[in-house]
Chains A and B, each alone.
Chain A
Amino acid sequence: MCLFTAALICGCGSTTTIDDFRPTNKPIDISMDQKVAVLGRRDAGHFVTDREFIECIGRRMAKSKFLVMSESEFVDALYPWFEPRTAPKHLKRLKRIMQVPAVRQKVEAERISHLVWIEGEVESHGATGAMTCGFGPAGTGCFGYTAWDKNVMFEAVVWDLTDLAEEARIRVDSEGTSYVIGIVAPIPLLTPVEREACEGMGNQLLSYFSQEED
Protein backbone atom coordinates (compact mmCIF):
# COMPACT_ATOMS: atom_id res chain seq x y z
CA MET A 1 0.00 0.00 0.00
CA CYS A 2 2.89 2.32 0.90
CA LEU A 3 4.62 1.51 -2.37
CA PHE A 4 1.41 2.15 -4.29
CA THR A 5 0.92 5.53 -2.62
CA ALA A 6 4.56 6.47 -3.23
CA ALA A 7 4.22 5.56 -6.89
CA LEU A 8 1.07 7.66 -7.15
CA ILE A 9 2.86 10.67 -5.73
CA CYS A 10 6.13 10.25 -7.65
CA GLY A 11 4.51 9.14 -10.89
CA CYS A 12 3.22 12.56 -11.78
CA GLY A 13 6.42 14.49 -10.98
CA SER A 14 8.80 15.86 -13.57
CA THR A 15 11.73 18.26 -13.69
CA THR A 16 11.63 21.12 -16.17
CA THR A 17 14.52 23.49 -16.87
CA ILE A 18 14.18 26.60 -19.00
CA ASP A 19 17.22 28.50 -20.27
CA ASP A 20 16.90 31.57 -22.41
CA PHE A 21 19.05 34.13 -24.12
CA ARG A 22 18.05 37.59 -25.31
CA PRO A 23 20.40 40.26 -26.63
CA THR A 24 18.41 42.88 -24.73
CA ASN A 25 15.94 43.01 -21.86
CA LYS A 26 13.62 45.40 -23.67
CA PRO A 27 10.22 43.88 -24.42
CA ILE A 28 9.39 43.16 -28.06
CA ASP A 29 6.86 45.71 -29.30
CA ILE A 30 3.90 44.22 -31.10
CA SER A 31 0.51 45.72 -31.82
CA MET A 32 -2.82 43.95 -31.59
CA ASP A 33 -3.28 43.59 -35.34
CA GLN A 34 0.14 42.06 -35.89
CA LYS A 35 0.74 38.32 -36.10
CA VAL A 36 3.31 35.91 -34.70
CA ALA A 37 3.72 32.66 -36.63
CA VAL A 38 4.70 29.50 -34.76
CA LEU A 39 6.51 26.93 -36.93
CA GLY A 40 8.20 23.59 -36.42
CA ARG A 41 11.45 22.56 -38.06
CA ARG A 42 10.81 19.89 -40.67
CA ASP A 43 14.19 19.56 -42.32
CA ALA A 44 15.83 17.02 -40.00
CA GLY A 45 16.64 13.52 -41.27
CA HIS A 46 14.18 11.11 -39.75
CA PHE A 47 12.37 13.13 -37.18
CA VAL A 48 10.18 16.18 -37.40
CA THR A 49 9.25 18.48 -34.57
CA ASP A 50 6.14 17.18 -32.85
CA ARG A 51 3.11 18.92 -34.41
CA GLU A 52 1.11 18.63 -31.17
CA PHE A 53 3.80 20.52 -29.28
CA ILE A 54 3.78 23.33 -31.85
CA GLU A 55 -0.01 23.51 -31.66
CA CYS A 56 0.24 23.61 -27.85
CA ILE A 57 2.67 26.58 -28.01
CA GLY A 58 0.32 28.26 -30.49
CA ARG A 59 -2.64 27.78 -28.12
CA ARG A 60 -0.70 29.22 -25.18
CA MET A 61 0.44 32.21 -27.19
CA ALA A 62 -3.11 32.79 -28.41
CA LYS A 63 -3.87 33.97 -24.86
CA SER A 64 -2.06 37.18 -25.80
CA LYS A 65 -3.60 40.29 -27.33
CA PHE A 66 -1.74 39.94 -30.64
CA LEU A 67 -2.69 37.38 -33.29
CA VAL A 68 -1.06 33.98 -33.58
CA MET A 69 -0.74 32.38 -37.00
CA SER A 70 -0.72 28.60 -37.21
CA GLU A 71 1.97 26.72 -39.05
CA SER A 72 -0.31 25.58 -41.88
CA GLU A 73 -1.69 29.10 -42.41
CA PHE A 74 1.81 30.54 -42.56
CA VAL A 75 3.39 27.97 -44.90
CA ASP A 76 0.38 28.20 -47.25
CA ALA A 77 0.43 32.01 -47.23
CA LEU A 78 4.13 32.03 -48.15
CA TYR A 79 4.28 28.92 -50.33
CA PRO A 80 6.86 27.66 -51.32
CA TRP A 81 9.37 29.64 -49.23
CA PHE A 82 8.90 27.73 -45.96
CA GLU A 83 8.73 24.15 -47.23
CA PRO A 84 11.32 21.69 -45.77
CA ARG A 85 13.49 22.22 -48.88
CA THR A 86 13.34 26.02 -48.90
CA ALA A 87 12.81 27.12 -45.27
CA PRO A 88 15.61 29.39 -44.02
CA LYS A 89 17.78 27.79 -41.35
CA HIS A 90 19.73 30.96 -40.62
CA LEU A 91 19.10 34.70 -40.70
CA LYS A 92 21.36 35.08 -43.74
CA ARG A 93 18.97 32.96 -45.81
CA LEU A 94 15.92 34.73 -44.34
CA LYS A 95 17.38 38.06 -45.44
CA ARG A 96 17.76 36.73 -48.99
CA ILE A 97 14.18 35.45 -49.03
CA MET A 98 12.86 38.76 -47.73
CA GLN A 99 14.60 40.51 -50.63
CA VAL A 100 12.09 38.86 -52.98
CA PRO A 101 9.52 41.65 -53.46
CA ALA A 102 6.54 39.24 -53.57
CA VAL A 103 7.56 37.70 -50.23
CA ARG A 104 8.14 41.06 -48.55
CA GLN A 105 4.75 42.31 -49.82
CA LYS A 106 2.96 39.19 -48.60
CA VAL A 107 4.54 39.39 -45.13
CA GLU A 108 3.54 43.05 -44.88
CA ALA A 109 0.02 42.41 -46.21
CA GLU A 110 -0.49 39.61 -43.68
CA ARG A 111 0.97 41.81 -40.89
CA ILE A 112 3.34 39.04 -39.75
CA SER A 113 5.88 40.63 -37.42
CA HIS A 114 7.65 37.66 -35.84
CA LEU A 115 8.43 34.01 -36.45
CA VAL A 116 8.91 31.45 -33.70
CA TRP A 117 10.86 28.41 -34.90
CA ILE A 118 10.55 25.34 -32.70
CA GLU A 119 12.80 22.33 -32.94
CA GLY A 120 13.10 19.31 -30.70
CA GLU A 121 11.81 15.90 -29.87
CA VAL A 122 10.43 13.61 -27.21
CA GLU A 123 12.37 10.47 -26.26
CA SER A 124 11.28 7.50 -24.16
CA HIS A 125 13.86 5.12 -22.76
CA GLY A 126 14.88 3.02 -19.77
CA ALA A 127 11.78 0.81 -19.59
CA THR A 128 11.85 -1.45 -16.51
CA GLY A 129 9.51 -3.87 -14.78
CA ALA A 130 7.06 -6.37 -16.20
CA MET A 131 3.33 -6.65 -16.46
CA THR A 132 1.19 -9.61 -17.42
CA CYS A 133 -2.38 -9.34 -18.60
CA GLY A 134 -4.61 -12.34 -19.01
CA PHE A 135 -8.20 -13.28 -19.56
CA GLY A 136 -10.20 -16.36 -18.84
CA PRO A 137 -13.73 -17.56 -18.06
CA ALA A 138 -13.50 -16.11 -14.56
CA GLY A 139 -12.50 -12.64 -15.76
CA THR A 140 -9.62 -10.52 -17.00
CA GLY A 141 -6.82 -8.77 -15.18
CA CYS A 142 -3.32 -7.29 -15.28
CA PHE A 143 -0.66 -7.77 -12.64
CA GLY A 144 2.77 -6.22 -12.37
CA TYR A 145 4.48 -2.93 -12.78
CA THR A 146 6.30 -1.13 -15.56
CA ALA A 147 8.08 2.21 -15.69
CA TRP A 148 9.90 4.26 -18.31
CA ASP A 149 11.68 7.61 -18.51
CA LYS A 150 10.63 10.35 -20.87
CA ASN A 151 12.89 13.22 -21.92
CA VAL A 152 11.72 16.28 -23.79
CA MET A 153 14.06 18.86 -25.33
CA PHE A 154 12.77 21.77 -27.38
CA GLU A 155 14.42 24.93 -28.56
CA ALA A 156 12.58 28.03 -29.78
CA VAL A 157 14.14 30.87 -31.76
CA VAL A 158 12.28 34.15 -32.28
CA TRP A 159 12.99 36.06 -35.50
CA ASP A 160 11.91 39.62 -36.16
CA LEU A 161 10.64 39.86 -39.74
CA THR A 162 10.99 43.65 -39.89
CA ASP A 163 14.54 44.06 -38.61
CA LEU A 164 15.52 40.56 -39.77
CA ALA A 165 17.22 39.84 -36.47
CA GLU A 166 17.12 37.15 -33.78
CA GLU A 167 15.16 38.39 -30.76
CA ALA A 168 15.37 35.44 -28.39
CA ARG A 169 16.37 31.82 -27.95
CA ILE A 170 14.81 29.50 -25.38
CA ARG A 171 15.66 25.92 -24.51
CA VAL A 172 13.41 23.78 -22.39
CA ASP A 173 14.34 20.37 -21.00
CA SER A 174 11.82 18.29 -19.14
CA GLU A 175 12.20 14.78 -17.80
CA GLY A 176 10.10 12.45 -15.76
CA THR A 177 9.21 8.83 -15.14
CA SER A 178 5.86 7.30 -16.02
CA TYR A 179 4.42 4.16 -14.48
CA VAL A 180 1.70 1.63 -15.16
CA ILE A 181 0.67 -0.48 -12.18
CA GLY A 182 -1.42 -3.56 -12.80
CA ILE A 183 -3.75 -4.42 -9.92
CA VAL A 184 -6.48 -6.25 -11.81
CA ALA A 185 -6.95 -3.12 -13.96
CA PRO A 186 -3.88 -1.33 -15.37
CA ILE A 187 -3.47 2.07 -13.65
CA PRO A 188 -1.42 4.51 -15.74
CA LEU A 189 0.51 7.24 -13.91
CA LEU A 190 1.85 9.28 -16.78
CA THR A 191 4.21 12.19 -16.32
CA PRO A 192 3.05 15.19 -18.38
CA VAL A 193 6.53 16.20 -19.59
CA GLU A 194 5.31 17.65 -22.93
CA ARG A 195 2.60 19.69 -21.20
CA GLU A 196 5.06 21.11 -18.68
CA ALA A 197 7.59 21.93 -21.41
CA CYS A 198 4.83 23.61 -23.42
CA GLU A 199 3.64 25.64 -20.44
CA GLY A 200 7.17 26.72 -19.59
CA MET A 201 8.14 27.67 -23.11
CA GLY A 202 4.77 29.29 -23.92
CA ASN A 203 4.82 31.48 -20.80
CA GLN A 204 8.42 32.48 -21.42
CA LEU A 205 7.65 33.44 -25.02
CA LEU A 206 4.61 35.46 -23.96
CA SER A 207 6.68 37.35 -21.39
CA TYR A 208 8.92 38.74 -24.16
CA PHE A 209 6.17 40.61 -25.96
CA SER A 210 4.83 43.92 -24.72
CA GLN A 211 1.37 44.10 -26.12
CA GLU A 212 0.59 47.62 -27.24
CA GLU A 213 -3.06 48.66 -27.22
CA ASP A 214 -3.97 50.24 -30.58
Chain B
Amino acid sequence: MHSKKRICGLLLMGIALLSGCTTNVHVDHPFPEMVAQPRDLSAVLVMDHAFRHYEANPTDKDTIQLGPAQVSLLSKAFSGLFTRVDVVASKQQTYPEADLVIIPSVREVQLSSPSDSYLNVYEVWIKYNLDIETADGIPIDSWFLPAYGKTPSSYMMVRSRAIEDATIMALRDAGAKLMLDFFRIPALHGWLRQQLPAEVTP
Protein backbone atom coordinates (compact mmCIF):
# COMPACT_ATOMS: atom_id res chain seq x y z
CA MET B 1 0.00 0.00 0.00
CA HIS B 2 2.81 2.30 1.00
CA SER B 3 4.84 1.52 -2.16
CA LYS B 4 1.75 2.06 -4.37
CA LYS B 5 1.38 5.56 -2.94
CA ARG B 6 5.06 6.17 -3.53
CA ILE B 7 4.81 5.02 -7.18
CA CYS B 8 1.74 7.23 -7.73
CA GLY B 9 3.57 10.16 -6.22
CA LEU B 10 6.60 9.57 -8.44
CA LEU B 11 4.38 9.25 -11.53
CA LEU B 12 2.59 12.50 -10.70
CA MET B 13 5.90 14.21 -10.14
CA GLY B 14 7.20 12.87 -13.48
CA ILE B 15 4.10 14.11 -15.33
CA ALA B 16 4.40 17.50 -13.67
CA LEU B 17 8.07 17.70 -14.64
CA LEU B 18 7.39 16.65 -18.23
CA SER B 19 4.50 19.07 -18.68
CA GLY B 20 6.64 21.80 -17.15
CA CYS B 21 9.11 21.44 -20.01
CA THR B 22 6.58 22.11 -22.78
CA THR B 23 5.43 25.60 -23.68
CA ASN B 24 2.06 26.21 -25.27
CA VAL B 25 1.67 29.80 -26.43
CA HIS B 26 -1.65 31.22 -27.50
CA VAL B 27 -1.08 34.48 -29.34
CA ASP B 28 -3.92 36.79 -28.45
CA HIS B 29 -3.23 40.40 -29.33
CA PRO B 30 -5.21 43.18 -30.96
CA PHE B 31 -3.40 44.60 -33.99
CA PRO B 32 -3.78 48.26 -34.97
CA GLU B 33 -5.39 49.44 -38.19
CA MET B 34 -2.99 50.29 -41.02
CA VAL B 35 -2.32 53.95 -41.74
CA ALA B 36 -2.29 53.66 -45.51
CA GLN B 37 -3.88 54.79 -48.72
CA PRO B 38 -5.70 51.70 -50.04
CA ARG B 39 -5.83 51.25 -53.81
CA ASP B 40 -9.16 51.18 -55.55
CA LEU B 41 -9.08 47.42 -55.99
CA SER B 42 -10.99 44.52 -54.51
CA ALA B 43 -9.39 41.39 -53.14
CA VAL B 44 -10.63 38.12 -51.72
CA LEU B 45 -8.49 36.72 -48.93
CA VAL B 46 -8.88 32.95 -48.69
CA MET B 47 -8.02 31.70 -45.22
CA ASP B 48 -9.10 28.10 -44.80
CA HIS B 49 -9.71 26.13 -41.60
CA ALA B 50 -6.10 24.94 -41.42
CA PHE B 51 -4.80 28.54 -41.64
CA ARG B 52 -7.36 29.89 -39.17
CA HIS B 53 -6.39 27.25 -36.61
CA TYR B 54 -2.71 27.01 -37.47
CA GLU B 55 -0.54 25.66 -34.69
CA ALA B 56 3.21 25.99 -35.14
CA ASN B 57 5.68 23.57 -33.57
CA PRO B 58 9.03 25.32 -33.97
CA THR B 59 10.65 22.86 -31.52
CA ASP B 60 9.61 19.54 -29.97
CA LYS B 61 8.64 21.33 -26.78
CA ASP B 62 7.10 24.56 -28.03
CA THR B 63 3.70 25.09 -29.59
CA ILE B 64 2.49 28.46 -30.86
CA GLN B 65 -1.22 28.80 -31.61
CA LEU B 66 -0.92 31.33 -34.38
CA GLY B 67 -4.22 30.95 -36.28
CA PRO B 68 -6.52 33.68 -34.88
CA ALA B 69 -3.72 36.24 -34.59
CA GLN B 70 -2.52 35.80 -38.18
CA VAL B 71 -6.12 36.00 -39.48
CA SER B 72 -6.60 39.27 -37.57
CA LEU B 73 -3.27 40.74 -38.73
CA LEU B 74 -3.59 39.80 -42.41
CA SER B 75 -7.23 40.97 -42.60
CA LYS B 76 -6.20 44.39 -41.29
CA ALA B 77 -3.04 44.55 -43.39
CA PHE B 78 -4.86 43.82 -46.65
CA SER B 79 -7.58 46.33 -45.71
CA GLY B 80 -4.82 48.92 -45.82
CA LEU B 81 -3.87 47.82 -49.35
CA PHE B 82 -7.28 47.44 -51.04
CA THR B 83 -10.49 49.44 -50.74
CA ARG B 84 -12.50 46.19 -50.56
CA VAL B 85 -11.31 43.02 -48.86
CA ASP B 86 -13.51 39.97 -48.34
CA VAL B 87 -12.24 37.24 -46.07
CA VAL B 88 -13.56 33.80 -47.01
CA ALA B 89 -12.90 30.24 -45.87
CA SER B 90 -12.54 28.55 -49.27
CA LYS B 91 -11.78 29.37 -52.91
CA GLN B 92 -15.34 28.43 -53.85
CA GLN B 93 -16.58 31.50 -51.97
CA THR B 94 -14.72 33.98 -54.19
CA TYR B 95 -16.71 36.16 -56.59
CA PRO B 96 -15.90 36.92 -60.25
CA GLU B 97 -15.84 40.73 -59.81
CA ALA B 98 -12.83 40.55 -57.48
CA ASP B 99 -9.60 41.89 -58.91
CA LEU B 100 -7.36 39.52 -56.97
CA VAL B 101 -7.61 36.34 -54.94
CA ILE B 102 -4.91 35.89 -52.27
CA ILE B 103 -4.32 32.58 -50.52
CA PRO B 104 -1.84 32.79 -47.62
CA SER B 105 -0.18 29.74 -46.09
CA VAL B 106 2.53 29.21 -43.51
CA ARG B 107 5.71 27.59 -44.82
CA GLU B 108 7.63 27.49 -41.58
CA VAL B 109 7.91 28.97 -38.10
CA GLN B 110 11.31 29.08 -36.40
CA LEU B 111 12.16 29.94 -32.82
CA SER B 112 15.48 30.83 -31.24
CA SER B 113 15.75 31.11 -27.47
CA PRO B 114 18.67 32.22 -25.27
CA SER B 115 19.55 28.60 -24.54
CA ASP B 116 20.10 28.01 -28.30
CA SER B 117 21.70 31.26 -29.38
CA TYR B 118 23.41 32.48 -26.18
CA LEU B 119 21.85 35.88 -26.93
CA ASN B 120 19.68 37.68 -24.43
CA VAL B 121 16.63 37.64 -26.72
CA TYR B 122 13.92 35.33 -28.03
CA GLU B 123 13.51 35.43 -31.80
CA VAL B 124 10.71 34.17 -34.04
CA TRP B 125 10.70 33.85 -37.83
CA ILE B 126 7.42 33.25 -39.68
CA LYS B 127 7.67 32.37 -43.36
CA TYR B 128 4.46 32.88 -45.31
CA ASN B 129 3.61 32.05 -48.86
CA LEU B 130 1.01 34.15 -50.67
CA ASP B 131 -0.55 32.60 -53.76
CA ILE B 132 -1.90 35.50 -55.82
CA GLU B 133 -4.44 34.70 -58.52
CA THR B 134 -7.04 36.40 -60.65
CA ALA B 135 -10.71 35.78 -59.91
CA ASP B 136 -10.67 33.25 -62.80
CA GLY B 137 -8.00 31.24 -61.01
CA ILE B 138 -5.09 32.26 -63.24
CA PRO B 139 -1.96 32.35 -61.05
CA ILE B 140 -0.07 35.66 -60.99
CA ASP B 141 2.65 34.83 -58.48
CA SER B 142 3.52 32.78 -55.44
CA TRP B 143 5.19 35.30 -53.16
CA PHE B 144 7.46 34.45 -50.24
CA LEU B 145 6.83 36.72 -47.25
CA PRO B 146 9.33 36.28 -44.40
CA ALA B 147 8.77 38.07 -41.09
CA TYR B 148 10.97 38.43 -38.02
CA GLY B 149 10.33 39.43 -34.43
CA LYS B 150 12.35 39.50 -31.23
CA THR B 151 11.92 40.45 -27.61
CA PRO B 152 13.82 43.50 -26.32
CA SER B 153 15.47 41.32 -23.65
CA SER B 154 14.75 37.96 -22.12
CA TYR B 155 15.78 39.12 -18.65
CA MET B 156 13.22 37.99 -16.05
CA MET B 157 10.79 36.94 -18.81
CA VAL B 158 8.66 33.82 -18.61
CA ARG B 159 9.39 31.67 -21.67
CA SER B 160 5.77 31.59 -22.89
CA ARG B 161 5.42 35.37 -22.56
CA ALA B 162 8.72 35.94 -24.37
CA ILE B 163 7.71 33.66 -27.27
CA GLU B 164 4.32 35.41 -27.49
CA ASP B 165 5.98 38.86 -27.58
CA ALA B 166 8.45 37.79 -30.29
CA THR B 167 5.59 36.24 -32.32
CA ILE B 168 3.55 39.45 -32.07
CA MET B 169 6.58 41.43 -33.29
CA ALA B 170 6.99 38.96 -36.20
CA LEU B 171 3.31 39.34 -37.15
CA ARG B 172 3.59 43.13 -37.04
CA ASP B 173 6.69 42.82 -39.23
CA ALA B 174 4.68 40.76 -41.73
CA GLY B 175 2.16 43.63 -41.92
CA ALA B 176 4.98 46.15 -42.44
CA LYS B 177 6.60 44.09 -45.19
CA LEU B 178 3.26 43.61 -46.92
CA MET B 179 2.65 47.33 -46.98
CA LEU B 180 6.16 48.08 -48.24
CA ASP B 181 6.55 45.39 -50.85
CA PHE B 182 3.21 43.93 -51.94
CA PHE B 183 2.63 46.22 -54.92
CA ARG B 184 6.33 45.99 -55.82
CA ILE B 185 6.08 42.24 -56.59
CA PRO B 186 7.27 42.29 -60.22
CA ALA B 187 4.65 39.83 -61.52
CA LEU B 188 1.83 41.63 -59.71
CA HIS B 189 3.07 45.05 -60.77
CA GLY B 190 3.20 43.90 -64.41
CA TRP B 191 -0.24 42.32 -64.20
CA LEU B 192 -1.75 45.45 -62.67
CA ARG B 193 -0.15 47.59 -65.38
CA GLN B 194 -1.74 45.40 -68.05
CA GLN B 195 -5.14 45.12 -66.44
CA LEU B 196 -5.66 48.41 -64.68
CA PRO B 197 -3.22 51.01 -66.05
CA ALA B 198 -4.83 53.81 -64.04
CA GLU B 199 -4.25 51.98 -60.76
CA VAL B 200 -0.47 51.59 -61.12
CA THR B 201 1.50 54.46 -59.71
CA PRO B 202 5.00 55.03 -61.15
**Interface residue ranges, A against B (CB under 8 Å):** 42, 46, 48, 50-51, 76-81, 83-86, 100-103, 106
Contact = CB atoms under 8 A, between A and B. Distances in A.
A83 B176 contact: yes
B173 A79 contact: no
Contacts of B37: 100-102
Contacts of B172: 79-80, 83
Interface residues of B, number: 21
B152 interface: yes
Contact of A77 (B32, B36, B150, B175): B32
28 contacts: A46-B119, A46-B121, A48-B121, A48-B150, A48-B152, A48-B153, A50-B152, A76-B32, A77-B35, A79-B31, A80-B35, A80-B77, A80-B172, A80-B175, A80-B179, A83-B172, A83-B176, A84-B169, A84-B173, A85-B176, A85-B177, A85-B180, A86-B180, A100-B35, A100-B36, A102-B37, A103-B35, A106-B35
Contacts of B34: 79-80
Nearest to A78: B35
B171 to A, nearest CB: 11
A81 B37 CA distance: 13
Contacts of B180: 85-86
Interface in B143-201: 150, 152-153, 169, 172-173, 175-177, 179-180
A111 to B, nearest CB: 15
Given A79-B172, A80-B172, A85-B180, A51 B152 contact: yes
Contacts of A81: 35
B152 A79 contact: no
| Chain A contact residues, majority secondary structure | loop
A81 B80 CA distance: 12
B76 to A, nearest CB: 9
A76 B35 CA distance: 9
A100 B152 CA distance: 29
A135 B150 CA distance: 40
Nearest to A48: B152
A106 B34 CA distance: 11
B28 interface: no
Contact of B33 (A79, A83, A86): A79
A79 B175 contact: yes
A139 B150 CA distance: 43
A103 B169 CA distance: 21
Nearest to A104: B35
A50 B152 CA distance: 7
B153 A102 contact: no
B168 to A, nearest CB: 11
B173 A83 contact: yes
Point out which of A42, A102, A103 has the most chain B C-beta atoms below 10 A from its C-beta: A102
Nearest to B121: A46
Contact of A80 (B119, B150, B176): B176
A202 B32 CA distance: 29
B35 A79 contact: yes
Nearest to A85: B176
Contacts of B179: 80, 86
A53 to B, nearest CB: 11
B173 A85 contact: yes
A106 B177 CA distance: 20
A79 to B, nearest CB: 4
A106 B37 CA distance: 12
B147 to A, nearest CB: 9
A86 B36 CA distance: 13
Point out which of A42, A46, A78, A106 has the most chain B C-beta atoms below 10 A from its C-beta: A46
Interface string B76-108: 010000000000000000000000000000000
